[in-house]
Amino acid sequence: MARDAGEVLQVPARRLRELVAEDEELSNLILRAFMSRRSISIWVPG
């Protein structure tokens, strides 16, 4: 989900794993995003 217009970046899985391993801040941001998305999917019916 996005609040405003943006762009989609396609990152190969292998490169994403490398980036997450190298950048703790990025890793935490992605983890929070997944957790938020999971939380929304649990509480929203359908």
**Which three-class secondary structure string do you get for 1-35?**
CCCCCCCCCCCCHHHHHHHHHHCHHHHHHHHHHHH
Q: State mean pLDDT over 16-38.
A: 93
In this prediction the pTM is 0.63
Place of tokens 């935490």: 28
pLDDT of residue 22: 97
Mean pLDDT of 8-37: 94
- 15-32 average pLDDT score: 95
Q: Which helix (H) or strand (E) holds 44?
A: none
**Cα separations (Å) of 10 from 5, 13, 16, 41, 44?**
17, 9, 10, 23, 27
What is the per-residue pLDDT for 16?
Answer: 94
Residue 30, pLDDT > 70, answer: yes
